[in-house]
Amino acid sequence: MTMPARWSRLGLALPVVLLLFAATDVALRLIPARVFAFRTWEIATQHPAPGAPFQANGHFATPRAHGDLSNQLGLVGARSVADLARTEALTSDQFGFRNLPALTALGPITIVAIGSSFTVGASVGDHETFPAQLATLTRRSVYNAGGIGPTAALVDSVVRRNRMAGGTVVYEVYESINPPTRAEFNQPVPCSQATARRARALCLASQRLRQLWRFSPLSALLLRVGYTVRPLARRYTLPGGITTVLRPDMLVTAATPPSTRPAVTNLLAIAEDLRARQLRLIVVLVPAKETVYGPLLTPPSMPAAEADDYLTRLERDLRAAGLEVVNTTSVLRAGAAAPGRTAPVYIADDSHWSACGIALAAREVAAAVLGDADSSKGPAPSVCTNPGGATAATTPPSAPHPR
C-alpha cells in the first residue's frame, strides 16, 4: 500500500521546518542579547559571575527600556505603552552584584540586603535601588546581594570579603516566593567551591553552556507572539485617571488562604543560622503589584481586607515567633491611594516597585534597623513628590556611620 502524495510531501516538509527552526535558533543565539532585550536585566544576566546574578564589572544601559508586564501584553498590546519607554542603566561590581563603588566604599559594610529582583532594583536606576536608598536613610554602607536565591554561602562570602564583625541581614521576601528551606539555604554556591583550577574551569564552562542553552531569542520572540494571542496582562485605570498594567490572574483572592507555616519555619531556621554568625535578621515583606492596586480599581477586584491577608497573617506569625519583620503593604497601598500627591509606587508597565515605592518601603525598614519608629513618619520622600518620581534619581548617600 503506497502512502498518499500529500502525506509524503508533509513527511518531507516537517524535517525541513524543524531544521529551519533549529538553524534560526542557533543563528539568533550568536547575536548579542542587547538586540533582543527590553531592559537591562536580560543583558546583565547573560554571563553571570559564579554565585552571582550578573556579569562582573559590568555597566549595562538601554535608552528604551520597557517593563516585564509590557512584554506580557503581546506585540499589539505593547504598542499601547510604547510611550512608557525609559532610559535604564545597571552597574555590577567585581563579584557580579549590583553595587556602585561610591555606595560600598564609604565605610565598613554593616548591612547586607538579600532577596529577589525587588532587592536588586529591577527597572530602576543604580541610586534608586532598595539597598541604595536604605544606605541613604540609615547612613550606613549596605551591600546589595539580591538577585539569586539567598544562601548561607552567599552571606558568608559577603561577610568575609567585607570583614564584617556582626551586622544586619535585611531579607526581602516577595509575596509569591517562599523562603528557602534550611537545606536549600545551606547548599553550596556552584563553581565558587571548586578549589582546583581545572575543576573550576570545567564548572564555569558548564555554567556558560547552560546559560547559552537557557536563553533562546527565538523562544522569546515566539513567547511574545503567544502573549499577543493570549495576553497575561492588560491595562487598568487607577484613581486619578492613572493607567497601569496588571495581571488579571493575580487580581483574585485565593479560595483557600495559603498557610504561613512553611514560610515561618524556613525563616526561623534562617534566623537561627544567621544568629550563629552574629548577624541580626530583619524580614521585609513585599506585596505583589496587584495586591496593592486591586482594592483601588473601580470596581475593586478584591476586598482590601482580604487582599493582603496572607502577608498580614505572615507578619503576625513571624512576630509571634520572635522575628523582626516589616510588612510594606500598608505604606505602599497608602502611597498608591494618593494620586497627585505621590508618584506611582509601582512602575506602570512593570511588576516591580518604582523609586517612590522603594523610598516608602526603605523608610519603614530604616526605622526598624535604627530602632526609631518616628523616623518612618513625616512627609512623603522627595522622590515621591517629584513629578518624575517614578524614575527620577535620588541623591547619592553621604558617608554612612559604622554601626
pLDDT tens column, 224-267: 778 788 889 999 988 778 889 999 999 987 778 889 999 999 99
How far apart are alpha carbons 145 and 93 in whole angstroms? Answer: 11
pLDDT cut 70: percent of the chain above it: 79
Least confident range of 37-41, 152-156, 300-304? 300-304
Residue 355's pLDDT is what?
A: 95
Region 188-201: mean pLDDT is 67
pLDDT at position 30 is: 65
Question: What does pTM read for this prediction?
Answer: 0.85
C-alpha cell at 70: 509590557
C-alpha–C-alpha distance, residues 254 and 65, integer Å: 33
Structure confidence at residue 400 (pLDDT): 38
CA–CA separation, 214 vs 236, rounded Å? 33
Backbone φ and ψ for 287, nearest 5 degrees, come out as -80, 155
pLDDT at residue 399, rounded to an integer = 38
Model pLDDT, residue 106: 62
Of the two residues 343 and 223, the one the predictor is more confident about is 343
3-state secondary structure the chain: CCCCHHHHHHHHHHHHHHHHHHHHHHHHHCCCHHHCCCCHHHHHCCCCCCCCCCCCCCEEEEEEECCHHHHCCHHHHHHHHHHHCEEEEEECCCCCCCCCHHHHCCCCEEEEEECCHHHHCCCCCHHHCHHHHHHHHHCCEEEECCCCCCCHHHHHHHHHHCCCCCEEEEEEEECCCCCCCHHHHCCCCCCCCCCCHHHHHHHHHHHHHHHHHHCCHHHHHHHHHHHHHCCCCEEEECHHHCEEEECHHHCCCCCCCCCCHHHHHHHHHHHHHHHCCCEEEEEEEECCHHHHHHHHCCCCCCCHHHHCHHHHHHHHHHHHCCCEEEECHHHHHHHHCCECCECCCECCCCCCECHHHHHHHHHHHHHHHHCCHHHHCCCCCHHHHCCCCCCCCCCCCCCCCCC
Burial class (CB in 10 A: 0-12, 13-18, 19+), 146: buried
Contact criterion met (CB below 8 Å) for 200 and 35: no
Q: Does domain 97-188+235-385 have CATH number 3.40.50.1820?
A: no
Average pLDDT across the chain, whole number? 83
Higher-pLDDT residue of 235, 83: 235
Residue type, 73: L
